[in-house]
Chains A and B, each alone.
Chain A
């Protein structure tokens, strides 16, 4: 059976779009339940932390440069550096560390 690339792309789009938009369009009312509200409050912090580590040390050529970027990024962000400055700190840390670690 010959597969059409456009149908593949259409399926990728449709499945992801349904998952992304169903809760947003169906859940209109404010959820009052305290446990659910607390859960949703914690979700972004847990998800982003889970996605950052250990991915950051696997994304770099050398795990040590990723670890340096992680620590410097956490310190910078803790002391209030915004999105862009923190991102740059991590990126520069990797770039500099990797040029030494070759």
Chain B
């Protein structure tokens, strides 16, 4: 298959796989829009923030900083703490792309790293075609921006029950991404269950539970994935299928 054809195929697949992400984003960003409105942002400021930042917890914290008139330094630090996990995701994706992928393409993949897009793209078999990320991003993040905008303008049009149910779509998607590998590779299955258990433990433990969710995610990821790598090193030729 030619490169263009391959790119088109992955782009379209991205658009399709982006649909459940889009639905979940719409619900979550809707709630985010309500926060933005409370922080005093206009609909176009909030939409601009969503188009540029593509981050739920990050934007939420950012709007809180704006609401409390925090300093620019505070804004930079809070954003860095909450977004630090994206750096780890970016390292993982750097190994998933073919070394020949150029800088503008890498910057675009980077710009659109979100938890969900990372989840969907980092687990494709073999090399990652950046066009898959573009498809995922364009489909889902337009609804992210749209949801934020509508959230600011309308406050609340959807009944809370519907918003809650839609918000859970994203977690369902995470499960759909991790469980098949957990079934194929029992070690991954055990690690998934262990990760959930430790994540719960850290959310109720004294001191640790006071850390921001973003920080807890990074610490747990480094500790658990690090231990797993030492105890169950992956043979480069199997498992991840990176050929």
Measured CB to CB, the residues of A under 8 A from B are 3, 5-9, 11-13, 15-17, 19-31, 34-56, 59-61, 66, 69-70, 73-74, 76-78, 80-95, 98-99
Contacts and interface: CB of A to CB of B under 8 A. Distances in A.
B176 A42 contact: no
Interface string B166-190: 1111111111111111110000100
B195 interface: yes
B101 to A, nearest CB: 9
Contacts of B240: 41
Nearest to A93: B168
A46 B168 CA distance: 19
A24 B172 contact: no
B142 to A, nearest CB: 17
Contacts of A95: 161-162, 165
A91 to B, nearest CB: 5
A29 B110 contact: no
Report, nearest first, the 7 A-B pairs whose CB atoms are least far apart. Answer: A21-B110, A90-B172, A77-B179, A87-B172, A86-B176, A38-B229, A49-B195
A20 to B, nearest CB: 4
Given A53-B199, A77-B175, A77-B179, A29 B99 contact: yes
A45 B86 CA distance: 15
A26 B106 CA distance: 10
**How extensive is the interface on chain B, given as a class?**
35 or more
B52 A21 contact: no
B169 A91 contact: yes
Contacts, number: 296
Interface in B78-114: 79-80, 83-95, 97, 99, 103, 106-107, 109-111, 113
A25 B110 contact: yes
Contact of B173 (A6, A19, A86): A86
Contacts of B217: 47, 50-51
Contact of B168 (A8, A9, A20, A59): A59
20 contacts: A15-B76, A17-B110, A27-B91, A43-B225, A44-B89, A44-B123, A45-B195, A46-B228, A47-B221, A54-B196, A56-B171, A59-B168, A59-B171, A66-B168, A77-B172, A78-B179, A78-B180, A87-B23, A87-B169, A91-B166
A88 to B, nearest CB: 7
Nearest to A17: B111
Contact of A11 (B17, B72, B113): B72
A48 B192 CA distance: 9
Contacts of B179: 74, 77-78
A70 B173 CA distance: 11
B53 A24 contact: no
Given A53-B196, A59-B168, A87 B53 contact: no
Contacts of A90: 168-169, 171-172, 175
A19 B80 contact: yes
